[in-house]
Amino acid sequence: MKKKVTAIVAAAILVILAIGGVVLFMLLNQPDRKSVSYNGQLRVDGNRIVNQHNEEVQLTGISTHGIQWYGDLYNETSIAELKNEFGINVFRIAMYVNPDDGGYIANRGLKDKVVELVEAAIKLDMYAIIDWHILNDNNPQTYEAEALEFFGEMSEKYGETPNVIYEICNEPNGSDVSWGGNIRPYAEKLVAKIREHAEKAIVIVGTPNWSKAIEQVDPSPLDDKNVAYALHFYAGSENVTLRDEMDHFRSKNLALFVSECGSTDASGQGDLHEDNFKVWIDYLNKNKISWVFWAFSNKDEASSIVTKKYKPGVADDETGLENYLTENGRLLKRTLVPPED
């Protein structure tokens, strides 16, 4: 009788161990739901962005500053540090265009840096936004021919790569630059060029008035349904009125992508507006609107997230990036990785 009981107990222990092993295996092999491996090719579905499983997705990430100025900061090591420390799943590569800024028109070698950083993001299982960063050039049509050539090449290279998102005009601006007169005609040509090679990729289209005047888009959005429209905000400059406009825009079944935002005013300087920034992020998270923070740089301004001492790879296992974060960097980390109670 004792042997029989012992055998039963032993069998029960083996069953428990087997079940525990299966549970442990499942826990250890849970997919990272932020990753490209899990989400795959994203697409726009009405006013939402969804993944390959038709689940709504919100990307959260960080933008470089101009890669012509701060390129030494940006490589696979630093992107990996940001991913590990901040939990981001998208990295925006800001390639300025204007030759007066040392941008692409004067420095075609910047394309090689874009490719390097896209490849790093792919290796790290993240999304990458290739940002044609117009600013001082105001009108996207100014360098339209160069944009067509650039995005033709990029989309041919990455057309079958689900990691890549194309942002074709950062912040159109100026009283003489309108959606119907300038941005829409430009966007039609650029989207058509990208679609020659990247039929499924999301394209982010800038909007007038530094990507704020989304109301101009509403009467005549692009025919392509797989585009999202850029909305930029800075917590020290924008208020609830812009969020009301976003609600109205999305009610028209159009998608927004906050491809640039910050806790400072629009200049990147001044105080941090933490309370208003939190209101904004709560709004974006509630509505699952993707957002990217400005900026990963060590420039001497309030919007930078790292100090001058930061160099890629200097962080160690004990401190991570903690010793190199600015006040703005710490704010961003608290936002993305809330501290435990």
Helix, strand or coil, per DSSP, at residue 266: coil
Is 171 annotated as catalytic? yes
- Of 69, 68, 67, give the one whose Cα is nearest residue 79: 67
Cα separation, 133 vs 65, in Å, equals 10
Residue 120: its H or E element? helix 110-123
| Ramachandran class of 51: left when φ > 0, alpha when ψ lies in -120 to 50, beta otherwise | beta
Which of 196, 260, 301, 322 is flagged as catalytic? Answer: 260
- Given the residues 156, 171, 245, 274, select the one marked as catalytic: 171
Show the beta-strand stretches assigned E in the chain: 43-45, 48-50, 60-64, 90-96, 127-133, 164-167, 203-205, 227-234, 256-262, 291-296
3-state SS class at 193: helix
- Is 199 among the catalytic positions? no
Q: Which residues are marked as active site?
A: 171, 260
